[in-house]
Chain A
């Protein structure tokens, strides 16, 4: 089995078999191409956190960011996933479609970063729309420039992770530039595409009042942003870092106190955001 062989059973990760050792490195993005095949990490059903209604969440592999608190470091590399045909994914999704429709839900593609595999996700999202499902992706927006407007047409919702409003903090936390994310957010705002902004609150890293203030001020005028979701940092992903023998910065990072969460909520509220 994989380097994650010691993962506890009983989670979606349990099914991680058949990883793809020959996959390209995340440095080389797959071409737009046909997208008939791609790299999928895992999926789970019955999520109520990743969009409206009940969701099937498809986790793809491959991400360009290296967030120091990432709880899915096992999805960073394309080869962490299983090489699988889009049709297989679509067939599996179809088995859930009636239930998802009945529960006003749909498909959320997460990862990893969905936009790493443009053609693959384009196919899957189009199929989801054909099944009458609500379709969403969860993205850092870092690759937002890669997607054309047609791609976005098949999306009912974008869950946009804005890790920080300060370029330096953003780089410190993710290893990448902030600009592309902000550009993407503005583009979605201009299109009026529904967005839920997600902000991970990591004590000592992203909790600086000025940092929060910056995101709040940036997001507040955007009428397409339905929610700002504050996601308190947790240690549930720590075991994966350990299993993968990666250096984990957050061994001693506490989870946010209720007071801190309250303060951040207020900051967003005062700026005029719908926060939860």
Chain B
């Protein structure tokens, strides 16, 4: 016994050789390890190198799959084996050349099924992809095992069902994995499974003495599940000949162990968004050590990143056509954060931050992993410039304001999905999609009836009478509607996440969290700019109502000659309405207790669903036509931010982060132009523009540097643009995989002249 402990200690010491000691050795504390050992880098990108022959060989093997998938869609599904850590044997792309190994199933591009989320989604997805559902799976999940989806619908009320059907509360994770949970996958590399189990045993021992309230019993069960998941993960790794019971001993193992942990997560859960977290600068510590020891050269270092990213580009889940309409292009948000600053004032930019971004050059642009630059005014200038160059060449980066988030979440947070910050291993969110605020406004005007179906969805209330909309009257009615909506929304979310924890618990991801974590419940709103512009039109214009034969207000005519302020022009008259909406809806949500006492948060984010929400929403008082898409995320409506990007981004920067802590998404498309500046000046001016926008309080920036003509050409000739990547609200997407409507929506958005 003593001998084996001694061996373990020696092994640990060997794996941790040459690392600066600290708290991280005594407790599970990855952040402490990073801060003590990271090598900040403030130089430029000149050290970067291309891909190795091995990387190119693996990449070449994958190309036919990509091509076939573009033509056929889903290539293969294992319909028989519900996915989990041990459901599939090891799989390879090109075993001799893969430096980093591990696939979701035993074959690349073979998707797995996750019936614990809901059998209906699985079977619909299979049928849509041309595959037969498996009778045994069907029997198991109808006769013997209840799913998350079954549970939620047992708890839903008729009112919630109505809201869902009317598309006022939409995209709820009630039939699939909720996602947006980031396991701290780095823990597996730094500590190994044995040490992590030991920590979990200690967490368990602490609550064995506590009286078994609901929460304690649940916590005990969860910890037991988590320990089982860790064991299974070690077993899964063994199939790939990796002994992850111990810590990683070199850079290759560190990347491999971290990836295996992530792989485990995507074998266990099919969450909408499955971020990898913030691995670049953590793994850089191992790479630096190997470089010092002469065990690795720059080509070898880049190879690790290229091959990790290859794996992150072929994650696939089986979805349904409905789901694809909401979130187009098969996204999974393997979001990775690069950059940012430490609380000690040092930058967290390392050479590996560059290497990670450089994969976009070595492998070509791609939507995944969702590369997120944590921008701070204090980032090294050369890194800022490099990011902008990469953006210009690939349109594959998003930027988020580290200076804004750091005071909230410290210096070791990751981004779940698009814009949701969470401290790694210490925080999770209950994901909640979004409500359609524009529709809510129309309900307020129509006494709770749906403007399309005519059905009474919200509780009956007095509709707006008379011929014209009166601002105070509409605001009062809208407030009442929002209060009802907020209550119904929290209600639905509590049902969903109770059942998700019960029937589709993410045991591995939570095994890579502390037991006592901060939980947030992340609500969302869509159509902010439509509502702000509508209210401004009512306040500053003269809006006549057009009613149909059902007595429903179905159209609006502005009879005023006076100019009506529109969101996106740095005009406080309307910007304050938008900011006020964010705050007031947030406060309405806060009134209602949440499942597990989660902290209420909110996002202004639509992803590509702004098209679907728009489709389901009638004419609005701002002049938007029925069916017309909303502005994505917090964006102004298309074409209305008519005074250039400066005015547009300053409007968005006014939306208060304190009342939208789950993120505020803003997408900007600029055409590549030169002005009278040299290339270096142009890049440096763009960096200053970022500093200015984030300094003004901006939270997020999706940057596309591309012209309309290219996009139009890509619509007509998709084969010419297999890798054309653009950023849409909160994520990047392969342009040619968008639906035609979404492509048109992207093209119709405001393009600004120059950065």
Instruction: Confirm or deny: A35 has a beta carbon within 8 angstroms of a beta carbon on chain B.
Output: no
Asked if residues B639 and A18 are in contact (CB atoms below 8 Å), the reply is no
In this complex, what residue of B is CB-closest to A9? B639
Instruction: Confirm or deny: B695 has a beta carbon within 8 angstroms of a beta carbon on chain A.
Output: yes
Residues of A within 8 A of B372 (CB): none
Residues of B within 8 A of A43 (CB): 643
Instruction: Confirm or deny: B642 has a beta carbon within 8 angstroms of a beta carbon on chain A.
Output: yes
Whole-angstrom distance between the Cβ of A201 and the nearest chain B Cβ: 16
Residues of A within 8 A of B754 (CB): 46-48
Whole-angstrom distance between the Cβ of A102 and the nearest chain B Cβ: 4
Q: Give the distance in Å from the alpha carbon of A201 to the alpha carbon of B677 in the complex.
A: 21
A10-B639, A48-B754, A103-B685 in contact; A96/B650 too (CB < 8 A)?
yes
Q: Give the distance in Å from the alpha carbon of A25 to the alpha carbon of B107 in the complex.
A: 77
Q: How many residues of chain B get a CB closer than 8 Å to chain A's CBs?
A: 30
Q: Which of B650, B675, B677, B750 contacts A95 (CB 8 A)?
A: B650
Q: Which of B561, B640, B646, B753 contacts A96 (CB 8 A)?
A: B646
B670-701 at interface with A (beta carbon < 8 Å): 675-677, 685, 688-689, 691-692, 695-696
Instruction: Confirm or deny: B562 has a beta carbon within 8 angstroms of a beta carbon on chain A.
Output: yes
Whole-angstrom distance between the Cβ of B654 and the nearest chain A Cβ: 10
Asked if residues A99 and B643 are in contact (CB atoms below 8 Å), the reply is no
Asked if residues B696 and A99 are in contact (CB atoms below 8 Å), the reply is yes
Residues of A within 8 A of B677 (CB): 48
Contact with B along A80-102 (1 / 0, CB 8 A): 00100000000010011011001
Q: How many residues of chain A get a CB closer than 8 Å to chain B's CBs?
A: 30
Q: Give the distance in Å from the alpha carbon of A54 to the alpha carbon of B572 in the complex.
A: 21
Residues of A within 8 A of B640 (CB): 9
Residues of B within 8 A of A45 (CB): 570, 643-647
Asked if residues A103 and B643 are in contact (CB atoms below 8 Å), the reply is no
Q: Give the distance in Å from the alpha carbon of A210 to the alpha carbon of B561 in the complex.
A: 50
Instruction: Confirm or deny: A276 has a beta carbon within 8 angstroms of a beta carbon on chain B.
Output: yes
Instruction: Confirm or deny: A17 has a beta carbon within 8 angstroms of a beta carbon on chain B.
Output: yes
Q: Which of B561, B642, B645, B646 contacts A11 (CB 8 A)?
A: B642
Q: Which of B569, B650, B753 contacts A99 (CB 8 A)?
A: B650
Q: Which of B569, B676, B685, B691 contacts A49 (CB 8 A)?
A: B676
A46-B753, A96-B650 in contact; A12/B676 too (CB < 8 A)?
no
Q: Give the distance in Å from the alpha carbon of A43 to the alpha carbon of B677 in the complex.
A: 23
Asked if residues A103 and B688 are in contact (CB atoms below 8 Å), the reply is yes
Residues of B within 8 A of A11 (CB): 642
Instruction: Confirm or deny: A15 has a beta carbon within 8 angstroms of a beta carbon on chain B.
Output: yes
Residues of B within 8 A of A47 (CB): 644, 753-754
In this complex, what residue of B is CB-closest to A1? B561
Whole-angstrom distance between the Cβ of B684 and the nearest chain A Cβ: 11
Which residue of B644, B650, B752 has the most chain A CB atoms within 10 A of its CB atom? B644
A45-B570, A103-B689 in contact; A14/B642 too (CB < 8 A)?
yes
Whole-angstrom distance between the Cβ of B747 and the nearest chain A Cβ: 12
Asked if residues A102 and B691 are in contact (CB atoms below 8 Å), the reply is yes
| Secondary structure call for the B interface | loop
Instruction: Confirm or deny: A179 has a beta carbon within 8 angstroms of a beta carbon on chain B.
Output: no
Asked if residues B562 and A95 are in contact (CB atoms below 8 Å), the reply is no
Asked if residues A46 and B645 are in contact (CB atoms below 8 Å), the reply is yes
Residues of B within 8 A of A17 (CB): 561-563
In this complex, what residue of B is CB-closest to A52? B676
A95-B572, A99-B692, A103-B685 in contact; A46/B646 too (CB < 8 A)?
yes
Q: Give the distance in Å from the alpha carbon of A47 to the alpha carbon of B643 in the complex.
A: 10
Residues of A within 8 A of B639 (CB): 9-10, 14
Residues of A within 8 A of B569 (CB): 15
Q: Give the distance in Å from the alpha carbon of A48 to the alpha carbon of B670 in the complex.
A: 13
Q: Give the distance in Å from the alpha carbon of A190 to the alpha carbon of B677 in the complex.
A: 29
Residues of A within 8 A of B752 (CB): 46
Q: Give the distance in Å from the alpha carbon of A205 to the alpha carbon of B63 in the complex.
A: 56
Which residue of A46, A48, A82 has the most chain B CB atoms within 10 A of its CB atom? A46
In this complex, what residue of B is CB-closest to A101? B692
A102-B692, A103-B688, A276-B676 in contact; A44/B561 too (CB < 8 A)?
no
Asked if residues A96 and B570 are in contact (CB atoms below 8 Å), the reply is yes
Which 10 A-B pairs give the minimum distances between C-beta atoms? Answer: A46-B644, A45-B646, A48-B675, A46-B646, A45-B644, A17-B563, A102-B692, A14-B642, A10-B639, A45-B647
Report B's interface with A, CB cutoff 8 A: 561-563, 569-572, 639-640, 642-647, 650, 675-677, 685, 688-689, 691-692, 695-696, 750, 752-754
Report A's interface with B, CB cutoff 8 A: 1, 9-12, 14-15, 17-18, 43-49, 53-54, 56, 82, 92, 95-96, 98-99, 102-104, 229, 276
Give 12 pairs: A residue, B residue, CB < 8 Å, sorted on A: A10-B642, A11-B642, A45-B645, A46-B752, A47-B753, A48-B685, A92-B570, A92-B571, A95-B650, A103-B685, A229-B676, A276-B676
> 18 other contacts beyond A53-B685, A98-B692, A102-B695, with CB at 8 A cut-off?
A10-B642, A15-B569, A18-B561, A45-B645, A45-B647, A46-B752, A48-B675, A48-B676, A48-B677, A54-B646, A56-B646, A92-B570, A98-B696, A99-B650, A102-B688, A102-B692, A103-B688, A104-B688
